[in-house]
Amino acid sequence: MVCYLYVSLQDDDKISVFTMDTETGKLTPKSEIPLPGGPSPLAISPDRKVLYAGHRGSSEISSFQIDQVTGALTHSGKVSVEAAPTFVATDRKGGFVLSSYYQGAHAGVHPVGADGSVDGPPIEWLETATGAHAMQTDPSNKFAFVPHIAGNGPNAIFQFRFDESTGHITPNSPPRVEPEEHLGPRHFCFHPTQDILYFSNEQGSSVTGYRLDTSQGTLSAFQTLTTLPADYTERNTCSQIQVSPSGRFLYAPNRGHNSIAAFSIDPTSGQLTAVGRVPAEPVPGSFSLDPEGNFLVAAGTESGRLASYRIDGDTGELTPLETYPVGQRPSDVLMTTLGD
């Protein structure tokens, strides 16, 4: 199997494709795919055969068939949407494309064809609130969550029930979780074995762990930790968040402090413990871990470079490796393995 890395370049109107050496973490450029309209958020289908890209400039969502041998992308579909998509994902079975809209204040669900190509008008186009920043279903595929940042949004996580046969979403009870502090939940990830979600907080410069009631599909917070050093007082916001495949480590970039914060995860309680921070390219918006959890690659939105790191399998600490010029405004980074 070969590890591929896809980077959307919003201001260059293209997606760049790299391979990664799984022993050394070294990246090698392979191809570039022109994609007008400001490509930004990326997602991959559960079978890893289709890549989805949201266009921030032209308000569209595109799909691409992925060549399992070369990693090359072939455009297979495109739909127009009523606002600029901020985030795209599929449901757990790959039957629908989910999307959220920061300025557009909506959550959307689109059907896909038999080959995974995005197709047709949205099944669901639900008004939520300004600041909608992500949308994913839980492992059971019965519930969905849409976090909204603070200030330009309501500082809340909207909770939904998801019908995996029709793609429709309906508000859960209660319909939202609202942090007491001015946190601004932005992106989130699921622990691979525990009933826990972790959210990055844009305005709070922190991460929060939530327990998931798997029968009701509702969240309850149990811990919030800062991503910053105690003496840092300048402006900062958090962006994405990911947990390692092993479930032992968590990572969240700081935009302003320009670093990546690392945490260890207690295997029983899910409690986080800060491991430390490493410098990142300015401004680290997006990053991705390889499927084995050995390497992390982060994009500097302002620098136009990728930075690679080796993950210590015992501590979760990051060791900087190399930087690579990639282009203007790298907006999303996605790593996956392809082939048998």
Confidence of residue 331 (pLDDT cuts 50, 70, 90): very high
- The predicted-structure confidence for 271-280, as pLDDT tens digits, reads as follows 999 999 999 9
Asked whether the predicted pLDDT for residue 340 surpasses 80, the reply is no
Q: How far apart are CA 241 and CA 260, in angstroms?
A: 10
pLDDT of the residue at 119: 86
- Does the pLDDT value for residue 260 go beyond 80? yes
Per-residue pLDDT band at 102 (split at 50, 70, 90): very high
**Whole-number pLDDT of residue 317:** 98
Residue 91 has pLDDT above 80, yes or no: yes
Mean per-residue pLDDT of the chain? 97
Per-residue pLDDT tens for 55-75? 999 999 999 999 999 999 999
Q: Which of 7, 68, 2, 77 is nearest to 39 (CA)?
A: 7
**Which position has the token pair 């060549």?**
67
Q: pLDDT band for 28, please (50, 70, 90 cuts).
A: very high
- For the record, the structure tokens of 80 come out as 């127009």
Q: pLDDT tens, 140-169? A: 999 999 999 999 999 999 999 999 999 999
| pLDDT above 90: residue 283 | yes
CA distance 324 to 304: 9
Show the tokens assigned to 116: 């995974």
The token pair at 114 is 């038999």
pLDDT at residue 35 above 80? yes
The span from the CA of 132 to the CA of 140, in Å, is 22
The Cα 299–Cα 163 span in angstroms is: 35
Q: Look at residue 298 and tell me whether its pLDDT is greater than 90.
A: yes
Instruction: Look up residue 266 and give its two tokens.
Output: 């207690």
Per DSSP bridges, beta strands 237-238 and 218-226 are: unpaired
Q: What is the DSSP letter of 340?
A: -
Task: Give 1's pLDDT tier (boundaries 50, 70, 90).
Answer: confident
Task: Quickly state the pLDDT bin for 116 (edges 50, 70, 90).
Answer: very high
